């Protein structure tokens, strides 16, 4: 069976060779080409202690947004600053069925933040859910793909039927802050699966204002979760 699996894999790679998730050049035995990996805009070590955005003043602990807005989650991490290159990659990941990108994204989260996530002491990885009708149309939830990869690498169970999106919402990027809050207000519920968790790691692709993560956190904490952390692929720059 292993021989047939290897043959199938080799044929598939000849027909559809793996490509860099950033520039789409053909790659071999690597999740991303070396040129892109060296030139990507990583968040870096000087970042907001709450939302994980890069900040320019290393004397400050929090970005301007987190100084003004009270977030419900404990804290979180992001790998890349959201620039044009990662924006194109995210678009293909979400809307062009490039599910394989999840391997690279999750690998970078773990490479950079494994120790910190272990310090969180989370008991389960939970993807930000997609409304079921929307998921059926797209065919997958990109946050769930990321969560599955993180679960494997961190050896922490992923729970994909615990937090659910109970109403249809429109993309947050099209809305003002007030509209974003109203759009996702009470959009998430908990399905009681008979297990209680104290600490959860939420997983999503992009952090914009944190409003969606706050609503997820609100639902989780109302159910009894004590601490909620998050990991995302990319995030805007902090002020």
pLDDT of residue 98: 95
Query: Do 29 and 90 have their domain in common?
Result: no
12 shares its domain with 57: no
Q: What is the pLDDT of residues 27-73, one digit of tens each?
A: 887 889 989 988 899 998 899 999 999 998 887 899 999 999 999 99
Tell me: do 31 and 131 sit in the same domain.
Answer: no
Give the pLDDT score at 174.
Answer: 66
Q: How high is the pLDDT of residue 125?
A: 98
- In a 10 Å sphere around its CB, with 0-12 CB exposed, 13-18 middle and 19+ buried, how is residue 217 labelled? buried
* Whether residue 216 sits in one domain with residue 164: yes
Q: Are residues 20 and 87 in the same domain?
A: no
Beta carbons within 8 Å of 117's beta carbon, 6+ residues apart: 77, 110, 154, 201, 229, 231
List, for the chain, all residue ranges whose pLDDT scores fall below the cut of 70: 1-16, 170-176, 238-239
Is there a single domain that holds both residue 147 and residue 199? yes
Based on the fold, state whether residues 22 and 94 are members of the same structural domain.
no
152 and 199 belong to one structural domain: yes
How far apart (Å, rounded) are the C-alpha atoms in residues 154 and 114?
7
For the chain, what is the domain count? 2
What pLDDT score does 140 carry?
Answer: 95
The pTM score is 0.89
49 in the same domain as 27: no
Judge if 33 and 128 occupy the same domain. Answer: no
Domain that holds residue 133: 40-235
CATH number of the domain within which 213 lies: 3.40.50
């Amino acid at each position: 069976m292993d021989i047939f699996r290897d043959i199938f894999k080799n044929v598939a790679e000849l027909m559809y060779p793996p490509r860099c998730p950033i520039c789409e050049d053909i790659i071999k035995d690597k999740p991303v080409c070396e040129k892109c990996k060296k030139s990507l805009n990583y968040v870096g070590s000087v970042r907001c202690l709450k939302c994980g955005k890069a900040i320019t003043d290393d004397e400050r602990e929090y970005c301007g947004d987190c100084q003004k807005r009270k977030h419900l989650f404990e804290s979180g991490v992001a790998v890349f600053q959201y620039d044009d290159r990662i924006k194109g990659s995210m678009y293909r990941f979400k809307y062009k069925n490039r599910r394989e990108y999840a391997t690279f994204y999750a690998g970078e989260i773990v490479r950079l933040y494994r120790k910190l996530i272990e310090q969180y002491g989370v008991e389960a990885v939970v993807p930000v859910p997609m409304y079921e009708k929307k998921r059926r149309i797209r065919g997958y939830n990109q946050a769930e793909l990321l969560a599955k990869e993180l679960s494997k690498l961190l050896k922490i169970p992923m729970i994909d039927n615990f937090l659910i999106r109970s109403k249809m919402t429109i993309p947050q990027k099209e809305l003002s802050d007030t509209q974003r809050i109203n759009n996702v207000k009470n959009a998430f519920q908990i399905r009681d699966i008979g297990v209680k968790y104290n600490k959860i790691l939420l997983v999503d692709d992009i952090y914009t204002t944190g409003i969606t993560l706050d609503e997820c956190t609100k639902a989780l904490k109302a159910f009894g979760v004590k601490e909620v952390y998050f990991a995302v692929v990319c995030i805007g720059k902090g002020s």
